[in-house]
Amino acid sequence: MITNTLSFEERRELLKAGLLNLSKPEHDALVNKCQSNGWLKRGGYDFEDDPYLEADSPYSFVRANDIETLELFFGQSNWAIRQGVVYEGLAFINQINGGDEWWTLKFDEECGKWIAFESITMHCFIEGGGFKDLVERLLNATVSECLGLNY
C-alpha cells in the first residue's frame, strides 16, 4: 500500500475501517503480560517520578485486520506508551512514550500465553521496504525460533 500519497483523512478512514477493539479477555491478558515489563507495568520506570503520566497512560490495544492496516498503524508514529496492536498471533506494545519501540510478543497456542521475545523499531522497516517481510518472518517462526531471535 502506498500511504505517502494519501491524505490524513484518507489514512484515518483506512485505519478506522481496519482496526477493531480487542475482547476484554484478550485485553486483560496483554495488560497482565505488561506487568512483567519494567517500562510498561503499573508504577514502571517512566511512572516512578511522574504519577500523572500513569493516570494519562491507559493500556489501549486494537487488532489490525490485515497487514496493510498494521503498516498504516505503525506509519502514523508518535504513539503513547502502552498503546498496542495485535495482528494474527503477534502483539506489539509501545514501550517508549511518543516513540517507536515496540515490545514484540507471539501467542503460544500450546500454553495459551503471550511470549515476549524482542523490541522492534518499525519505521526503519517501513521506510526500507522490509516491513511485510519482517511480519511474515515473525508469523512463520515458531515461538522457540522467536525466543532465539531466529526469524
The model's pTM: 0.91
Domain with 86 in it: 8-147
104 lies in some domain: yes
Question: In this structure, is residue 2 part of a structural domain?
Answer: no
C-alpha distances (whole Å) from 1 to each of 79, 102, 104, 133, 145 are: 21, 22, 23, 14, 29
Percent of the chain whose pLDDT exceeds 90? 75
pLDDT tens sequence across 9-56: 777 787 788 899 999 999 999 999 999 999 999 999 989 888 888 999
The answer as to whether 40 is a domain residue is yes
The total number of structural domains in the chain stands at: 1
In a domain, 62, yes or no: yes
Q: How many CB atoms lie within 10 A of CB 71?
A: 19
Per-residue pLDDT, 76 = 79
Q: Within a domain: residue 95?
A: yes
